[in-house]
Amino acid sequence: MALSRGRAAGGWPVSLCRRFMTVWRKLESGSEEEEEKEAAAAVYVHWPYCQRRCTYCNFNKYVKPAVDHDLMQQCLVRESETLLHLSQIKRISSVYFGGGTPSLAKPATIAKLLETFSKCAQLPDDTEVTLEVNPTSAGASKLAEFRSAGVNRFSLGIQDAVSNHNLMYWRGRQYIGIGPGAHGRFRPSTEGGAQREARVQTLEPDVWMMEVKNSGHGTRKRVRLTQLDV
């Protein structure tokens, strides 16, 4: 835009044109930031099993003496593939394995899930990967196996206020919940969804696994969100 003697081409005052260009650049920048936010998501995986029930815990949990680890892994992988494809996200910003007691899962299950995530979207090497740990269920040797599987952060609960995963949640970013009772908030892009949805997976593990085997996912509830909800 040509500027001459305090006025731009077309007779507009230079100061007004400069203000307009400043606002326009901010809008363009904000649009790019919004696109970047929509291209990424945090991933939460819920492992529902525990060794015993703790009175202080209100999360979705089940005590089952004999867990079918192979079937659980297969269903977690399949639901991951379904929901990540549905969301069409390009990058995973953080991964959090919660429960229940996810340190009861086999390290091979954690490794398989991280491998699946990396096939469906970008999973940078420095991505925060957290595993909730109950010290009674995970000795030093098993913690080392989890690290080899790809976990780089262990949580005992109290320090999670500073995790990247929780920051993504509090800032209203997208997150994908996988596993029995997991919650999610993302845009179902392959279904033509222009708005985000809040999603809740089926609570009971055996029923959830049956639904995943039949439909590829165990989503029980879907609620379309407005901008105020987000």
Instruction: Give the domain extent around 67.
Output: 40-224
13/17 Cα distance (integer angstroms): 6
Q: What pLDDT is recorded for position 2? A: 45
| pLDDT tens per residue across span 212-224 | 999 999 999 999 9
The rounded distance, in Å, linking the Cα atoms of 189 and 195 is 9
Q: What is the pTM of this model?
A: 0.79
Query: Is residue 12 in some structural domain?
Result: no
Residue at 26 is within a domain:
no
Query: Which pLDDT score, from 0 to 100, does residue 5 have?
Result: 47
Torsion angle of the four alpha carbons 176, 178, 181, 185, in this order, in degrees rounded to the nearest 10: 10
Bridging pattern class, strands 62-63 and 183-186:
unpaired
Q: Is the pLDDT of residue 189 over 60?
A: yes
Residue 34 placed within a domain:
no
pLDDT in tens, 45-88: 999 998 877 666 667 776 888 999 999 999 999 999 999 999 99
Q: How many domains does the chain have?
A: 1
Q: For residue 30, is it within any domain?
A: no
**In the numeric block, which tokens belong to residue 179?**
């596993």
Whether 154 contacts 56, CB under 8 Å = no
DSSP state at residue 65: S
- pLDDT single digits (tens) 81-90: 999 999 999 9
Residue 157 belongs to some domain of the structure = yes
